[in-house]
């Protein structure tokens, strides 16, 4: 059987050249002229390797990469990039691209890289969609304990779940954990990121399509609901689901009936539905941006994950866990924290939550050259937020950090409207401004 290669490239000459070079090598090649067509073709031809340009009008290379990361993690993706934009290719590689080729293309190199990509991928075993590795959740705060109980409970029921919380709080990890703790654990876990898939593609991604349903639909295709049959479908970023698709989702959630685009036949599926969002769906319902019937249907069992700054006890455990994890990953001996470092981490407000903490610690472990993690290795934003000199008493520390947290909470609750926040706090707007400056609070945090 010939290996199949998909080329996604908007420049016609380049597309033809690559098709020619790779066909001559014995590959079965298909090409698309933009990202959207490329993703459609991807699902129909199921290529063994994909080459994509980065800059394209409809869905660029990064969107294609995201599509691959969600659905086809075992297919190597090679980035085509012009000289001078190598930086973006490097970014793409960090996010999972296999390699990159610079234009003008060297024919021999293309052949070599594609062959290596396909051979390497064949060697890997077990890479597939689904829950990757053991989804380990760290934290023993009361909130987390309650979450663990909920996770077990939900797994055993048929209820749909809505997980809400700020970005980086662990919503996806929780969804994976629910699946892993359910009787469905051995069946598929399919994640659909409603925010990342171009609108044109989303309906067919979810429900599939029949041949000829639209230009580019060259074959019948099963959607995520059917793929997740007997397992779990995770509708991530559900707040970004376009209004016009919401009735169809409601039908799927309520009656477990789905019909592919272009067909009037429905099919019954047995899926557990977990949805997540960092947007305020209540508010969206109020503004008629989200259907209230769908909201209530999904929200049968709401799970709210609090931000990291409200889970002090978890932070210490997470720090230990991530430092040890990255030491192992980077082949370093175990590192300890110098005096004061943990306090700095505790007093920072972590707008990006656990993800931000994880990223910070990965970098810190990387740049740490001695056996101890010292203050100077922490990012400036964390060091500069610490406003209390170390010599002061603990009482003082608590008072200021509490004041800071209060101000932040008031600002967040009032959508960063300073007048409203000041009213909530019972202080004048000027005082609020002064305090915000003192505690280096600003909206970009």
Ligand X SMILES: Nc1ncnc2c1ncn2[C@@H]1O[C@H](COP(=O)(O)OP(=O)(O)OP(=O)(O)O)[C@@H](O)[C@H]1O
Residues near Mg ion (CB under 5 A) are 172
Q: How far from chain centre, in Å, is Cα 20? A: 36
Nearest to 101 by CA among 36, 9, 210: 9
Of 251, 358, 363, 420, the residue at the interface with ligand X (CB under 6 A) is 358
Nearest to 278 by CA among 197, 176, 200, 355: 355
Residue 260 binds which entry of Mg ion, ligand X, none, with Cβ cut-offs from 5 to 8 Å by kind?
none
Using CB under 6 A, which of the segments 182-190, 350-358, 369-377, 402-410 binds ligand X?
350-358
Task: Provide, rounded to whole angstroms, the least separation between the CB of residue 137 and ligand X.
Answer: 4
Q: Dihedral through CA 319, CA 354, CA 126, CA 62, nearest 10? A: -130
Residue 137 binds which entry of Mg ion, ligand X, none, with Cβ cut-offs from 5 to 8 Å by kind?
ligand X
Task: Provide, rounded to whole angstroms, the least separation between the CB of residue 236 and Mg ion.
Answer: 5
Q: Which two tokens stand for residue 124?
A: 């890997």
Of 9, 99, 172, 203, the residue at the interface with ligand X (CB under 6 A) is 172
Closest residue to ligand X: CB criterion:
170
Determine if 138 is a binding residue for ligand X (CB under 6 A): yes
Of 37, 68, 71, 171, the residue at the interface with ligand X (CB under 6 A) is 171
Task: Provide, rounded to whole angstroms, the least separation between the CB of residue 237 and Mg ion.
Answer: 7
Distance (Å) of CA 382 to CA 266, 362, 371, 439, 444: 54, 15, 21, 12, 14
Residue 307 binds which entry of Mg ion, ligand X, none, with Cβ cut-offs from 5 to 8 Å by kind?
none
Of 117, 202, 354, 360, the residue at the interface with ligand X (CB under 6 A) is 354
Task: Provide, rounded to whole angstroms, the least separation between the CB of residue 71 and ligand X.
Answer: 17
Question: 22 with 65: CB under 8 angstroms?
Answer: no
Using CB under 6 A, which of the segments 16-24, 120-128, 340-348, 353-361 binds ligand X?
353-361
Which is it for the CA torsion 246, 248, 254, 260, positive or negative?
negative
Distance (Å) of CA 283 to CA 113, 243, 280, 303, 445: 49, 15, 5, 17, 22
Task: Provide, rounded to whole angstroms, the least separation between the CB of residue 305 and Mg ion.
Answer: 11
Task: Compare residues 170 and 223 and give the one whose CB is closer to Mg ion.
Answer: 170
209-247 core/surface letters (b: 16 or more CB in 10 A; e: else)? bbeebeebbeeebebbbbbbbebbbbbbbbbbbeeebbe
Q: Which residues bind ligand X (CB under 6 A)?
A: 137-139, 165, 167-173, 278, 354-355, 358
């Amino acid at each position: 059987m010939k290996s199949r290669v998909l080329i996604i490239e908007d420049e016609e000459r380049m597309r033809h050249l690559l098709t020619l070079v790779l066909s001559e090598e014995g590959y079965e090649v298909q090409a698309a002229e933009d990202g959207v067509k490329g993703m459609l073709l991807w699902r129909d031809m199921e290529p063994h390797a994909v080459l994509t340009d980065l800059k394209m009008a409809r869905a660029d290379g990064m969107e294609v990469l995201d599509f691959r990361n969600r659905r086809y993690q075992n297919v190597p993706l090679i980035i085509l990039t012009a000289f001078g934009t190598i930086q973006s290719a490097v970014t793409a590689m960090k996010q999972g691209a296999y390699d990159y080729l610079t234009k003008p293309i060297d024919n021999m190199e293309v052949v070599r890289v594609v062959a290596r990509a396909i051979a390497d991928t064949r060697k890997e075993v077990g890479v597939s969609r689904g829950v990757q590795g053991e989804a380990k959740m760290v934290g023993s705060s009361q909130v987390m304990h309650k979450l663990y109980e909920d996770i077990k409970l939900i797994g055993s029921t048929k209820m749909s779940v809505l997980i809400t919380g700020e970005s980086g709080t662990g919503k996806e990890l929780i969804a994976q954990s629910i699946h892993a703790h359910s009787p469905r654990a051995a069946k598929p876990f399919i994640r659909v990121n409603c925010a990342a898939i171009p609108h044109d593609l989303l309906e067919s991604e979810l429900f599939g399509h029949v041949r000829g349903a639209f230009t580019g639909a060259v074959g019948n295709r099963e959607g995520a609901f059917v793929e997740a049959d007997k397992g779990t479908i995770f509708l991530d970023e559900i707040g970004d689901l376009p209004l016009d698709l919401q009735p169809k989702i409601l039908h799927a959630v309520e009656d477990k009936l789905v019909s592919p685009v272009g067909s009037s036949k429905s099919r019954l599926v047995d899926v557990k539905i977990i949805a997540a969002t960092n947007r305020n769906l209540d508010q969206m319902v109020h503004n008629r941006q989200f259907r209230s019937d769908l909201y209530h249907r999904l929200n049968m069992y709401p799970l709210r994950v609090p931000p990291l700054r409200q889970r002090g006890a978890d932070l210490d455990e997470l720090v230990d866990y991530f430092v040890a994890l990255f030491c192992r990953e980077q082949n370093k001996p175990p590192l300890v924290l110098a005096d004061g470092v943990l306090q700095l981490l505790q007093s920072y407000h972590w707008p990006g939550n656990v993800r931000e903490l994880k990223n910070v610690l990965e970098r810190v472990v990387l740049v740490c050259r001695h056996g101890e993690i010292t203050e100077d290795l922490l990012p400036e934003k964390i060091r500069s937020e610490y406003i209390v000199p170390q010599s002061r008493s603990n009482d003082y520390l608590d008072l200021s950090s509490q004041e800071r947290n209060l101000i932040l909470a008031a600002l967040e609750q009032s959508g960063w409207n300073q007048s409203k926040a000041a009213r909530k706090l019972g202080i004048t707007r000027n005082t609020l401004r002064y305090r915000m400056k003192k505690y280096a609070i600003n909206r970009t945090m």
